[in-house]
């Protein structure tokens, strides 16, 4: 899949349409449409940087053909992780609760056992 297709899918997961996104980001729709038709790498740097900043994605990674969340905490997200976040955001509250409960249950199950004085053998 081309990075333009991935980026368009990413945008559409957050906005109703490319037109709605163009209004939100402040890039005229014909300009945005041209960016995707001609290719992101052929677009003006100012518009690409504006779009990346607005979406919270790394312009450097986009240049490498990947959609990666902008590194704000030293933690890099893979394309797969970004897709999972998109899917999570698309869920209703019941679905999000189910995912949260599963993550907590699985994380707690796989988390190394932390021994403290209250559960140590012979405590009590």
118 part of a folded domain: no
pLDDT of residue 18: 94
Q: For residue 3, is pLDDT > 50?
A: yes
The phi-psi region of residue 112 (left if phi > 0; otherwise alpha if psi is between -120 and 50; otherwise beta) is beta
64 part of a folded domain: yes
28 part of a folded domain: yes
103 part of a folded domain: yes
pLDDT of residue 73: 64
38 part of a folded domain: yes
Q: For residue 118, is pLDDT > 50?
A: no
Angle (CA) 5-90-16 rounded to 5° is 60
Return d(Cα 22, Cα 33) in angstroms, integer. Answer: 9
Give the model's confidence band at 84: pLDDT under 50 very low, under 70 low, under 90 confident, else very high.
Answer: confident
Number of domains in the chain: 1
123 part of a folded domain: no
Instruction: Answer yes or no: are the C-beta atoms of 22 and 32 closer than 8 Å.
Output: yes
Secondary structure (DSSP) of 28-43: -HHHHHHHHHH-GGGS
99 part of a folded domain: yes
116 part of a folded domain: no
**Domain containing residue 26:** 3-110
């Amino acid at each position: 899949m081309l990075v333009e297709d991935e980026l368009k899918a990413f945008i559409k997961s957050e906005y109703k349409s490319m037109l709605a996104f163009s209004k939100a980001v402040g890039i005229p729709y014909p300009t945005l449409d041209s960016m995707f038709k001609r290719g992101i790498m052929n677009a003006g740097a100012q518009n690409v940087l504006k779009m990346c900043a607005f979406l919270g994605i790394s312009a450097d990674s986009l240049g490498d053909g990947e959609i990666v969340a902008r590194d704000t905490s030293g933690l890099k997200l893979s394309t797969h992780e970004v897709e999972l976040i998109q899917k999570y955001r698309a869920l209703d509250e019941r679905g999000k609760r189910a995912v949260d409960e599963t993550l907590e249950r699985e994380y707690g199950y796989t988390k190394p056992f932390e021994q403290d004085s209250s559960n140590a053998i012979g405590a009590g």
